[in-house]
Amino acid sequence: MPPTNPLIQVTGLQKSYSVPVLSDFSFELEAGEVHALVGSNGAGKSTFARILAGLTHADAGHIQLLGRPYAPRSKREAEHAGIVMVMQELNVIGTLTVAENIFLSRLPRRVGFVRFAQLKKMAREALGRVGLEELDPSTPARQLGVGQQQLVEIAGALAQNCQILILDEPTAALTDPEIERLFANIRQLQTEGVGIIYISHRMDEIRRITNRVTVLRDGRRVATHGAQEVTPAGLVREMVGHDLPERKGTSSRVTAEVAMRVRKLTAGDRVREVSFEVHRGEILGLAGLIGSGRTETLRAIFGADRKDSGEIYLGTANQPVSIRNPADAVRAGLGMVPEDRKLDGLLLAQSIRVNTTLATLARHVRGGGWLDFRAETRTTNSLGERLGVRCASPEQTISELSGGNQQKVVIARWLARNCGVLLFDEPTRGIDVAAKDTIYQLLRDLAAEGKAVVVVSSELTELMALCDRILVMSAGTISAEFLPGQWSQEKITHAAFSGYLDRAEEGRAPVA
């Protein structure tokens, strides 16, 4: 590539939420270049893309677009400047037609009325560019499959005459012929001088379609390579960084007694024949990329989502337990701390007491079945003390607490029930370091009491410090199992990507 004036030049970009997400990040994109961004979960790829697309703002740093300072305040501003992003989550509005979706923000109109004939003509052209010329632009978007919806979004982006196109995991939902067509489009755009930022997990795609690769780790740029120089192993090593000191050997609290056995659990297309067992006294980690089926596995076990097949055995029982909904799971002695505290865990407008005793109300009654507020307060206070919940009183509304303290209350709810098997989905997401330590210690204490603990986490260091065993999920199946001493960030990351590599290679053959 000849050294030209870069399309976009980023220096010293900073962004933090509660923790830094991007620190001193720098980046460059040439006209006509496809530039891949890779990194583990939370490395900062999506945050960077969102800043460029005007969906969030940087705390500090400079972005220059064609030599001029660029700091979009909104998506609209970014689009005016010629930067368009196609998101990982679909933004198609199902009730509108394909044509309306493509041109939603700029419908052709005359005195306030949409010119449908013109709209249809424009939509046909746009669809033609992504190989959907067969599709009637007046089809309601919800009738399309996920892959076609994705292509419609891309068509929408292309129709804006953008200078820079950001694609976040564009092939996740596409079939192979669709991927081929997308790549053909990308090449066409390249010749037109459009710069493309391509975020993906898939190594083979990166090598095929991109010119350069930038690796991110913990919000920093680790390296930028020419796409032909990279190897999957090398990239993984750079994404992971240096291995941290880790614990050796299995803890003595792990018993030989099986607490729960999951056999060939299948749910939707995210969980495929997952089998594992967890022992009393053990902390079992579930690692994997976001979307690899970790959360879905926990939810299927707990009955929160429907499972298609597979059995769950508790203790030494020969008969599987029937778990059709969370009530069945709780009755069988399971507890789950969900990933999204506010949406799935808390009664935000209620007090700490009400939140703590929600799953154990039947144990807080006296004569005639009336609730015993004093007993509830006692339970809330003693669990609050044990977990170090910082609050003014048990009657304080839970929305006033910090994230860490809220999480402790969700955990307290299950401690009050004394569950034998506890499932934790991202137990330390969005909470501060001190509260994290309390939660780690708590998980160890629970295991020491003989409970079985399953932890899903995107932070490998967390799992490696905490777990007695780590299972890695990739593309809906368990791809590897590690014991302390055997694992490393590199190995785990490699296993986390493995399912996607396989799938890509499987997929390559039938294309021709």
Partner 1 sequence: MSRRFSHLGEYAAMLIIWLGLFLLFGAISHNFLSWRTLSTLANRIPTLAIVAAGMTLVLIVGGIDLSVGSILGLGGAVLGVTLVDWHWPLWAAMLACLAMGLTAGTLNGLISVGLGIPSFIVTLGMLEIARGLAYLTTHSQTKYIGASVEALARPIGGLGCSPAFLSAVTLIVMLQLVLSRSIFGRYLVAIGTNEQAVRLAGINSRPAKITVFALLGLLTGLGAVFYTSRLGSSDPNAGVGLELSAIAAVVIGGTSLMGGRGSVVSSFFGVLIIATLEAGLAQVGASEPVKRVVTGSVIVIAVILDAWRHHLAGANFPLLKRLLRSRVPLKL
**Mode of pairing for the β-strands spanning 195-199 and 164-168:** parallel
400 binds partner 1 (CB under 8 A): no
Considering only residues 408-427, where is the footprint of partner 1 by CB under 8 A? 413
CA-closest candidate to residue 34, choices 277, 206, 267: 206
- 420, 376 in Cβ contact below 8 A? no
- For residue 325, the minimal CB distance to partner 1 (Å) is 7
- 474, 202 in Cβ contact below 8 A? no
348 binds partner 1 (CB under 8 A): yes
Between residues 343 and 512, which has the closer beta carbon with respect to partner 1?
Answer: 343
380 binds partner 1 (CB under 8 A): no
Among 256, 362, 509, 512, binds partner 1 (CB under 8 A): 362
Among 176, 277, 344, 432, binds partner 1 (CB under 8 A): 344
- For residue 167, the minimal CB distance to partner 1 (Å) is 32
- 418 backbone φψ class: left, alpha, beta (φ>0; ψ -120 to 50): left
375 binds partner 1 (CB under 8 A): no
Considering only residues 268-307, where is the footprint of partner 1 by CB under 8 A? 302, 304
Instruction: Count how many Cα atoms sit within 13 Å of the Cα of residue 139 in the half-sphere of its side chain.
Output: 17
Name the segment binding partner 1 (CB under 8 A); options: 178-186, 233-241, 335-343, 479-487. Answer: 335-343
- For residue 89, the minimal CB distance to partner 1 (Å) is 19
Beta bridge partners of 16: 20
- For residue 511, the minimal CB distance to partner 1 (Å) is 42
d(CA 213, CA 38): 7
333 binds partner 1 (CB under 8 A): no
Size of the site for partner 1 (CB under 8 A): 32
- For residue 173, the minimal CB distance to partner 1 (Å) is 26
Burial 249-288 (b: 16+ CB within 10 A, else e): eeeebbeeebbbbbeebbbeebbbebebebbbbbbbbbbb
327 binds partner 1 (CB under 8 A): yes
215 binds partner 1 (CB under 8 A): no
Between residues 280 and 413, which has the closer beta carbon with respect to partner 1?
Answer: 413
Contacts of 419 (CB under 8 A, 6+ apart): 330, 333, 334, 335, 451
d(CA 360, CA 418): 10
d(CA 425, CA 284): 12
**SS (HEC) of 304-367:** CCCCCEEEEEECCCCCCECCCCHHHHHHCCEEEECCCHHHHHCCCCCEHHHHHCHHHHHHCEEH
d(CA 408, CA 404): 6
> Pattern 100-129, binding to partner 1, x per CB under 8 A?
------------------------------
Angle, helices 403-417 vs 433-448, to 10°: value is 10
329 binds partner 1 (CB under 8 A): yes
Name the segment binding partner 1 (CB under 8 A); options: 45-53, 119-127, 152-160, 329-337. Answer: 329-337
Between residues 127 and 304, which has the closer beta carbon with respect to partner 1?
Answer: 304
- For residue 413, the minimal CB distance to partner 1 (Å) is 7
Residue 455's identity, in one-letter code, is V
- For residue 333, the minimal CB distance to partner 1 (Å) is 11
Among 14, 350, 402, 488, binds partner 1 (CB under 8 A): 350
Could you tell me the two tokens for 281? 């006294």
Task: Please count the helices (runs of H) and the strands (runs of E) in the chain.
Answer: 16, 23
Name the segment binding partner 1 (CB under 8 A); options: 129-137, 242-250, 307-315, 330-338. Answer: 330-338
Among 76, 80, 306, 331, binds partner 1 (CB under 8 A): 331
First to last CA, the chain: 30
336 binds partner 1 (CB under 8 A): yes
Between residues 311 and 344, which has the closer beta carbon with respect to partner 1?
Answer: 344
- CA 346 vs. chain centroid, Å, equals 21
d(CA 191, CA 288): 37
Among 111, 117, 256, 349, binds partner 1 (CB under 8 A): 349
Name the segment binding partner 1 (CB under 8 A); options: 118-126, 199-207, 339-347, 498-506. Answer: 339-347
Among 3, 69, 249, 369, binds partner 1 (CB under 8 A): 369
Between residues 230 and 304, which has the closer beta carbon with respect to partner 1?
Answer: 304
The footprint of partner 1 (CB under 8 A) covers 302, 304, 325-327, 329-331, 336, 338, 343-351, 354, 358-359, 361-362, 365, 369-371, 373, 393, 395, 413
